[in-house]
Amino acid sequence: MEIKTVSVIGAGQMGNGIAHVFALAGYQVRLYDISREALDAGMAAIGKNLDRAIARSLVTEEDKARTLGNLSPVSTLQECGDVDLVIEAATEREAIKQAIFEDLLPHLRKNTILTSNTSSISITRLASRTDRPEQFMGLHFMNPVPVMQLVELIRGIATDEDTFRAVEDVVAKIGKTSSTAEDFPAFIVNRILMPMINEAIYTLYEGVGNVKSIDTSMKLGANHPMGPLELADFIGLDTCLAIMNVLHDGLADTKYRPCPLLTKYVEAGWLGRKSQRGFYDYRGDEPVPTR
């Protein structure tokens, strides 16, 4: 099937980025969030990101106008069903994702493909709670979506070939590169990345180095563009913890045990950039390490 219309569920950092790249590529996109405030903020973020791309001569003013014309903010899940492709990009909590799909089911076309942008949760298990496991798969974008080129494609145990090929084709049409991952906890990128971040937090927790020395060491010693603690703040410490818990629970290996310091930061509500404090304090002109 040819995909022409898309609904994105969730207007946060990932959802508005996904809506941005699809609308820029010419797809008709409906963007939904349960919070009107989040929906308005998501649409505003798309406009700002397009302006940033114009300043860098990556797109034109005409591209911006066309992209915004392809976007429709919607306030009910019912409005999201009459499309070719649904991309769920809600909070990384399985119960929330399951509830969204269950509420969507009565409003879907028979041939609508369902996908989740989950970074770690079982696609097979999510698909089993719908009426179309054959038309369900993982479509995991990297953050920030307009900039990052990779998209992980994850088949559930029941995903059929037509669904996989249709989604693979649409990823190519929006100018991204796909990699295929098996449906195991955290897939490829986060299976490798999150334990590294978790180990950096253990390094901080055990006093081997402070925030600045750990990040500087990895940037200059391993040529990483961001230090692991800076990156954790960018991703969101709650998301990092959720993924580590999925790895720990799903693979039953102690090497995936979340660092107690990561748990403590999340309990404090210090979630990184989005809450203005994490391993860095972002409330001033320059980020300041909190340890």
Q: Is 15 annotated as a binding residue?
A: yes
**Does the annotation mark 140 as catalytic?**
yes
Say how many residues make up the chain.
291
Distance CA 249, CA 256 (A): 9
Q: Is 264 annotated as a binding residue?
A: no
Q: Is 255 annotated as a binding residue?
A: no
> Choosing from 88, 190, 198, 230, which is the catalytic residue?
190
What are the beta bridge partners of residue 180? 153
Give the dihedral sign, CA 18/20/26/29.
Answer: positive
Q: Are 125 and 136 in contact (CB under 8 A)?
A: no
Q: Is 161 annotated as a binding residue?
A: no
**Does the annotation mark 107 as catalytic?**
no
Taking phi first (over 0 means left), then psi (-120 to 50 degrees means alpha), and beta for anything else, what does residue 261 get? alpha
Q: Is 79 annotated as a binding residue?
A: no
Please choose, from the candidates 205, 19, 9, 235, the residue with its C-alpha nearest in 3D space to the C-alpha of residue 103: 9
> Choosing from 7, 119, 122, 178, which is the catalytic residue?
119
Place of tokens 């980020």: 287
Q: Is 134 annotated as a binding residue?
A: no
Q: Is 95 annotated as a binding residue?
A: no
Q: Is 12 annotated as a binding residue?
A: yes
**Does the annotation mark 190 as catalytic?**
yes
Distance CA 63, CA 145 (A): 17
> Choosing from 152, 178, 198, 230, which is the catalytic residue?
152
**Does the annotation mark 116 as catalytic?**
no
Q: Is 166 annotated as a binding residue?
A: no
- Give the C-alpha distances (Å, rounded to integers) separating 108 from 40, 82, 134, 241, 287: 25, 6, 15, 33, 45
> Choosing from 49, 116, 120, 140, which is the catalytic residue?
140
Q: Is 119 annotated as a binding residue?
A: yes
Q: Is 14 annotated as a binding residue?
A: yes
Amino acid identity of residue 65, one-letter, is A
Known catalytic residues?
Answer: 119, 140, 152, 190
Binding residues for NAD(+): 10-15, 33, 92, 97, 119, 143, 274
Binding residues: 10-15, 33, 92, 97, 119, 143, 274
